[in-house]
Amino acid sequence: MSESGGNAGGRGRGGSGSGRGKGGPRDTSTRNAQGRERNRSPQKSFTENAPAQRTRRADPARLVAFEVLRAVAAEDAYANLVLPSRIRHHNLDKRDAGFATELSYGALRNQGTYDAVLARCVDRPLDQLDPAILDALRIGAHQLLAMRVPAHAALDQTVGLARAVIGAGPSALINAVLRKVTAHTLEEWLEHLVAGESDETKIASIRYAHPEWIVRAMRQSLVAHGRSVTEINDLLEADNAAPVVNLVALPGLGSLDEALDNGATPGELVEGSALSSGGDLGRLASVREGSTRVQDVGSQLVARAMAAVELGTGSGTGERWLDLCAGPGGKAALLGALARQQGATLLANEPAPHRAKLVRQALAAVPRETWEVRTGDGREVGTEMAASFDRVLVDVPCSGLGALRRRPESRWRRTPKDLADLGPLQRALLTSALDAVRPGGVVAYVTCSPHPAETTAVVTDALRKREDLELLEAGAVLDGVSLTGNLGAGHNSTAQLWPHIHSTDAMFLALIRKKA
């Protein structure tokens, strides 16, 4: 369960030592009822150090991780949006930023497993702990069990963080609990947690830190897309690996030279892509101007497939393309550049005004005559602009089960009910896209989820209701736009990418052509 990255080892002697960030967020609404006195007397010291050497400040990198976990838990924030702003706020250098990233994402991804461990070390149900205390315990557990941080440093710095931002009483509780965590390695804890358990789903849930319903959903998804259920552990493990940052140079507009000069390596799956070890990509001029963008290779592949698929009669220059659910604009930017190369124009539709603004910003690097942004309900486009487009991308709102590695908190937020709630919207948007495409045109139905309820079931329902549609071989089209030419993603005419096979998000693609 360890996060990737080489920044953790150098912090083992006790943190960055910069001493900034003593203010931090405080959550004191219930902490007086959380056992402050009960846990104080048995614990004579907070760390193995002499009293005069106890850390009483919040190490900035750990403080950033704590603030990220607090924002995620208390404000339903997204870690990937909060983390960069907190790193900038605390002026972390590259080394400390890497540590804060690993600590934040690792504690969030592995939350279920760490909570199971902590439940063995706390004398009351975890839901009776102050949420801030629980977040500090998760941060400590990740350092102790999955990072290259010596135990004394992890204890000292986590207790120092707690003293600075929560209080002296809670820090005693945190110190006592984390000392119990140090009694075993992660693998030893896992053996204890699954001892006597025969349910494979529950065992996988504990070992790979996924809710049980998601483990079942992923097993079902593998089978639905023609893969073996025996791949489940590899898939769950891939979800827990820190993803490499994927870059794309907008075709005909951008260049990867600057990224490659700064340590990126050429991508192996798709033209014009690169892989970056991270760092502050915002310092690259090509990224700031938008001609080079951060975008998962899976997203690049499905966008290129939509642009490359063979149409029926009447295709050629002057085509009109539609991105029906365009926000926040990543695929729209790539499609806009491809449309420009092919003499086409792009309409990007987004219902939320603030996200439509993001789409305009994403398209800014593409010449203005190539694209237009519409703010409106995608379900109405098929009626308002019937049979108007040659190619339509409908990347529907979905559960995001295919991007769990990039959104570490989402696995603990999603519920099976989300699948049921999203189904009608997904079907309505696909219907609108099919109405909006002209005879001979193609609709690319895309989700960042492999779940059959969001993928094959939606497509099957659409095909069953109409006789003027044909399902194209999406796997073959993906192979045609990939550098390998053999992704092996096709099954029953649709295509499914996988993090454990392709090192991409689990993107689903169906290509549906309206008969001429």
Please list the active-site residues: 448
**Alpha-carbon gap, residue 99 to 62, rounded angstroms:** 8
Q: What are phi and psi of 266, to 5 degrees?
A: -60, 140
Which residues lie across from 511 on neighbouring strands? 444
Q: Are 279 and 6 in contact (CB under 8 A)?
A: no
Helix, strand or coil, per DSSP, at residue 323:
strand
Q: β-pairing, 389-395 with 371-375?
A: unpaired
Q: Looking at residue 264, what DSSP letter applies? A: -
**How many CB atoms lie under 10 A from the CB of residue 56?**
12
Q: What are phi and psi of 6, to 5 degrees?
A: -100, 20
Q: Are 391 and 319 in contact (CB under 8 A)?
A: yes
Query: Quick one: tokens of 366?
Result: 């593409």
Q: β-pairing, 345-350 with 371-375?
A: parallel
Q: Are 275 and 248 in contact (CB under 8 A)?
A: no
**Alpha-carbon gap, residue 321 to 380, rounded angstroms:** 16
Q: Are 56 and 164 in contact (CB under 8 A)?
A: yes
**Alpha-carbon gap, residue 476 to 494, rounded angstroms:** 9
Q: Are 146 and 118 in contact (CB under 8 A)?
A: no
The residue among 328, 432, 304, 327 whose CA lies nearest residue 378 is 432
Report residue 206 CA to chain centroid gap: 20
The residue among 321, 233, 304, 301 whose CA lies nearest residue 489 is 301
Helix, strand or coil, per DSSP, at residue 394:
strand
**Alpha-carbon gap, residue 368 to 360, rounded angstroms:** 10
**Alpha-carbon gap, residue 152 to 149, rounded angstroms:** 8
Q: Are 47 and 54 in contact (CB under 8 A)?
A: yes
